[in-house]
Amino acid sequence: MTMATMDVYGFVHEDLRAARKAVEDALSICMEEADESDGSGNYFRWYVPDGLCVQIRRNSGPYQRWVGDPSHPWHPDFGLLVWVHGQSPESIAKCLRNSVPGLLYLESKETMC
């Protein structure tokens, strides 16, 4: 398996729809609403098959997608997290960092590809 990198960004607020609009406007994309696999709510995503993927998810309660105690989110000061992964995410990262008010870069993580 190949290791890839995923960038993680955060919004302090918890307004999922406002975050969607800000990201869509900055990237000139249209995100789709999707249901969490466990039925606990929804999130927004945009992806190109075999290419880039951008997701906006809540950073609390049952919306968390990682293993661990839900009372201890990855970045507890942020209500929403934005993930960017896939091929050539540099142009997306530049737009997000320069054009989305209130969105802060948090970290890059290695992922399995």
CB burial class (10 A; 0-12, 13-18, 19+) of residue 32? exposed
CA distance 44 to 19: 10
Among 20-29, 69-78, 80-89, 101-110, the minimum mean pLDDT is found in: 69-78
pLDDT category at 74 given cuts 50, 70, 90 is confident
**pLDDT band at 109; cut points 50, 70, 90:** confident
pLDDT at 18: 97
Handedness of CA 86, 92, 94, 96 (dihedral sign): negative
20: left (phi over 0), alpha (psi -120 to 50) or beta: alpha
The pLDDT tens digits of the residues spanning 42-70 come to: 899 999 888 889 999 988 755 554 555 55
* pLDDT average, residue stretch 97-102: 92
Tell me the pLDDT of the chain averaged across its residues. 83
3: alpha, beta or left? (left if phi > 0; alpha if psi -120 to 50) = beta
Q: So what's the pLDDT on residue 12?
A: 95
pTM of the complete model beyond 0.75: yes
89 pLDDT exceeds 70?
A: no
